[in-house]
Structure 1
Amino acid sequence: MDTPGELAAALDRVGYLADEGLATAAFLALRMRRPLFCEGEPGTGKTALARALADALGTPLIRLQCHEGIDAARALYDWDFPRQLLHLRALEAQGRTEGAEAELFTRRFLLARPLLQALETPGCVLLVDEIDRADDEFEAFLLEVLSEHAVSIPELGEIRAAEPPVVVLTSNRTREVHDAVKRRCLYHWLEHPGLAREVAILRRRLPELTQALATQVATAVSRMRAAELLKPPGVAESLDWAQALLALDRPVLDVEAAAITLGAVLKYREDADRVVAAGLDALLA
């Protein structure tokens, strides 16, 4: 893939419709061998981009899901203590306790977590999902790994990537990620898709969906996003809503169909109450 357009076409073939800005950012990340930092509201396609990149490149996707309290042991490696204990008991039963420690801390007892898996899988796509949920200490550790493409394990020595992974970091911006991490990456903000693009996404993912119904769903969801909701619906919710209508054999999104399927697109009671109070007829007009 020699141009952003060719990358966009490759992503299109695996079901991901990237606009020109996103295709260019992803292309540059590949060419410059830099991590791509994708930030935006939930449901704008950040995680799906990493999956699509892996599919388009024909390479494995390795995902590191960040969460509060995540540390190096959960992200990089750990030792398989139950197996080590069993092995130690077997050595003791054979009277071979001398040098047991050296046998216990070998590669056969090492549990590779996502970061180590990515370093050892040439050319894979590493998705560091929702990095904004991790803390500053983990960000500093991650920055070091991404800069060096290598880790040091005291018992085994240095493990360096033969071919660095393609790295995609995502953030829902629940907090600001440290500037040092952003400086290491190329940055792209993902907006919710426009009406025409969302209709195209719905039709691509749900071929049985008619143009008319896809337009109705996308229009209603766009109006919901303009309202002051706790959790504005993303593309995933649009797809859920369209699937619910198809499952109920509802070819038209009218007030009755919207009322019985609202839980597919709005996941907070307060949001559903607000939309209903404003009038479903107004939403669908």
Structure 2
Amino acid sequence: MSDQISSTSLPGSIEETMALLAAHDYLAGRALGTVLFLALKMKRPLFLEGEAGVGKTEIAKVLSKALDRPLIRLQCYEGLDVSSAVYEWNYPAQMLEIRLAEASGLTDRDRIEADIFSERYLIRRPVLQALSGVGGRAPVFLIDELDRTDEAFEAFLLEVLSDFQVTVPELGTIRAAEPPIVIITTNRTREVHDALKRRCLYHWVDYPQAEQELEIIRRKVPDSNEALSRQIVAYVQKLRTLDLYKNPGVAETIDWATALTELDRLALDPETISDTLGTLLKYQDDIARIQGGEGKRVLDEVKSELLAAG
């Protein structure tokens, strides 16, 4: 395998895919590297499920940087519709054009209509932007948190994901010269319909194992003390077994390591944990639980296990 992969070409193997991500500090396991390589090779959307904070969105961001492709993000939310996601017409400019045409004495309605419903007045939203990439530079199209939308919008996406095209009634069908690299994420707050999933390759993104999370801290927080980093990772891994309302994700682990490094801490202690839990946990019930006796119990277990491991 070549030591350096061209930023504009797609990786030629699973190993190259993993190396490409690692070069931008995203440590992917072989399962993720495999499905991502296949998605790129087969030109299929990649559907990523997992808990919030495990790094699903980051995959699209890193892929955009690694391949030197534009990143187009469609942030989903309840009530998202075609005008916000796909396209809309520039109505103020159209009305101005109509008034100017009338003022100049132009009365040919067909000609006026053909002019105002042209590309000049079309506002391209993320879906249409994603289909407008040039050959060899098709963008990375991130459809983020699809589970926040409704089934009607899912149904609309079927045409986009099947044929990489959308239909604008006034202009006709607009097809992508080259299919974008599509990454779809969901936090599984509701089930996404099978018809959409069938058009994608699928991967469940889980929390990283301890050694992988430790390496992430080494890369993202290089000034963090090694012993402290090991305690942080061990502590966070323990917290994820406690059935909290919201388990800390990788982003929170990085934030905590950064905060403790800024405070010049070299080891975890109950007071430090209590003072900085707001960087790690985001719900008061979880914070109150860990600030009590349970947090100290977890810390004692962590220190005991690390001491036994040498």
TM tier, shorter chain? over 0.9
Partner Cα distance (2:242, 2:103) in 1: 70
| Pick aligned residue for 2:123 from 105, 111, 120 | 111
Q: Secondary structure at the match of 1:228?
A: coil
- In the alignment, the residues of structure 1 paired with residue 173 and residue 190 of structure 2 have an alpha-carbon distance, to the nearest angstrom, of 33
User: Deviation at 1:97?
Assistant: 5.0
Tell me the residue number matched to 2:114: 102
Pairing 1:1-285 to 2, within 5 Å after superposition: 1-98=11-108, 99-122=111-134, 123-285=138-300
CA contact (8 A) 1:66 1:128 kept: yes
Is the contact between residue 289 and residue 295 of structure 2 (CA under 8 Å) also seen in structure 1? no
Distance 1:250 1:90, change over 3 A: farther
Superposed CA deviations along residues 78-128 of structure 1, whole A, max 9, x for unmatched, are 111122223333334433353332221111111101110000014211111
Quick one: which amino acid aligns to residue 152 of structure 1? T
Asked if 2 retains the 8 angstrom alpha-carbon contact of 1:217 and 1:242, the reply is yes
> What is the identity, as a one-letter code, of the residue corresponding to 2:240?
R
2:214–2:230 Cα contact (<8 Å) kept: yes
**Count of residues in correspondence between the two structures:** 285
**Alpha-carbon distance in 2 for matches of 1:107, 1:73:** 15
Give the counterpart letter for 1:130 in structure 2.
E
C-alpha separation between the residues in 2 aligned to 1:38 and 1:115? 19
One-letter amino acid matched to 2:22: D
Question: What is the SS of the residue equivalent to 1:144?
Answer: helix
SS across alignment from 1:18:
coil
Quick one: which amino acid aligns to residue 161 of structure 1? A
Cα contact 1:126–1:168 (8 A) shared by 2: yes
Q: Tell me, yes or no, if the aligned pair for 1:62 and 1:118 is still in contact at 8 Å.
A: yes
- Of stretches 141-150 and 92-101 in structure 1, the one that deviates more from structure 2 is 92-101
Q: C-alpha distance in 2, partners of 1:84/1:163?
A: 31
- Which runs of 5 or more residues in structure 2 are unaligned? 1-10, 301-310
SS at 1:14 equivalent: coil
Q: Structure 1 residues 92, 227: closer, same or farther in 2, change over 3 A?
A: same
Contact 1:203 1:210 in 2 (8 A): no
**TM-score, normalised on structure 1?**
0.96
Residue 240 of structure 2 aligns to a residue in which SS? helix
State the SS of the aligned residue for 2:49: strand
- For residues 105 and 226 of structure 2, the distance between their equivalents in structure 1, rounded to whole angstroms, comes to 74
Deviations 1:169-224 (A, max 9, x none): 11111011101111111110111001110111111111112222221111111111
**Letter of the structure 2 residue corresponding to residue 65 of structure 1:** Q
CA RMSD of aligned residues (A): 1.4
Contact 1:199 1:211 in 2 (8 A): no
**What do the CA deviations read for 1:152-185 (whole angstroms, capped 9, x no partner)?**
2122122110100111111111011101111111
Where does the alignment leave 5 or more consecutive residues of structure 1 unmatched? none
* Structure 1 residues 250 and 95: alpha-carbon distance in aligned structure 2, compared to 1, 3 A threshold: farther
- Structure 1 residue matching 2:292: 3-state secondary structure: helix
